[in-house]
Amino acid sequence: LWNYLSDGRRAKNPKGLSRQSLQLRVADETVMCRGRGTAGYRGIGVGYPERISLAFDSEEMALRLLWKGEFANINHGRFNAIGRDRIAFPAGIPFHRLGSMDESWPYKGKTDYLFPMDHGYQYRGYFLDRDKRPTFMYRYGDIAVEDFFQDLLNEQGNAFFRRTLTFSAPTAQKLFYFRVASAKEVEASGDSWQAGPLEVRFGSGRQALVREGDPQELLLPLTLAAGETQLQIEYRW
C-alpha cells in the first residue's frame, strides 16, 4: 500500500478496481471498433451477429483479417481480435495495374508517407444499414468503390461472408487486378478457389488466376465499363 501511494499522480488503478470489461461482445446486431492493432494504425473491427468478424484497414483500404467466435479486446485506442480460425490477408493495397506478372505488388515502406494516395487511393468513410453493418467507401483513381460484407449461414448452419463490391466509373477502365487472397498454395477446387484454409467463390463468369511466388497470390483481373459494376465474393473457412 505504501509503495502504491508513493507513486502519487503516476499511480495506476489497482487490478480489480474497475468493473468495466475490455472485451467487446456481439449479440443481435453488428458491433464496430476502431484503432491500432489487428489492422494496422487505422484499423476498423467489425463483429457480426453470426459470430464471425473482420478487420478492415482504412489506411490501405484492404481486408486484413477474418475470424470466428469472440470478437475483440479494446484498450487505449487499440483493438485486438480474440477469436479463433483466423484468416490473414497480405499487406498492401487491394487493386493495382500490374505491368507484368513479375512486378512486385505495392506495399508501404518506412518512408512512404504518401502511400497509398500516390497509387490513387482515397478513403471516404462508411455508412451503416439498418442492422448496423458498414459499407466502406473509398476511391481507386477515377473509380468510386462501395465495399459491403454480409454474414450468412450455409446449408449446414456454418457462417460465412458474402462481400459485395460496387464500382462506379465515369469512363471505361483498362485492366487492373484485385489481389483477393494469398497462401503458400492456391489452387482451383471445382467452382471455387482454395487459399490455405480459406475457400473463395466468385460470382458467375469471373475467371481468376494464380500468380506464382512465396506465397502464391489469387488475382482477379477486372475491366470496367462506364457506370456501375458489381462484384460478389464469398469467403468460407
Residue ranges in 117-181 assigned as alpha helix (H): none
- The three cell numbers of residue 111 are 518512408
pLDDT attached to residue 76: 85
Quick: pLDDT tens for 58-77. Answer: 999 999 999 999 999 999 88
From residue 138, give the alpha-carbon distance in Å to each of 47, 94, 117, 134, 194.
Answer: 21, 11, 11, 13, 28
Say whether 45 sits in a helix, a strand or coil: strand
Element (H, E) at 4: helix 2-6
Predicted confidence (pLDDT) at residue 139 exceeds the cutoff of 60: yes
Q: Going by C-beta distance under 8 Å and a sequence separation of 6 or more, which residues neighbour residue 118?
A: 112
Quick: pLDDT tens for 11-56. Answer: 555 555 445 578 999 999 999 999 998 898 899 999 999 999 999 9
Q: Report the chain's terminal Cα–Cα distance, integer Å.
A: 50
- The three cell numbers of residue 211 are 500468380
Q: What integer is the mean pLDDT of 201-213?
A: 91
**Which region holds residue 141: left if phi is over 0, alpha if psi is between -120 and 50, else beta?**
left
Instruction: State the burial class of residue 94 (Cβ atoms within 10 Å of its Cβ: 0-12, 13-18, 19+).
Output: buried
Q: What integer is the mean pLDDT of 68-96?
A: 95
Predicted confidence (pLDDT) at residue 128 exceeds the cutoff of 80: yes
**Cα 45 to Cα 52: distance, rounded to the nearest angstrom:** 11
Grid cell 462481400 — which residue? 163
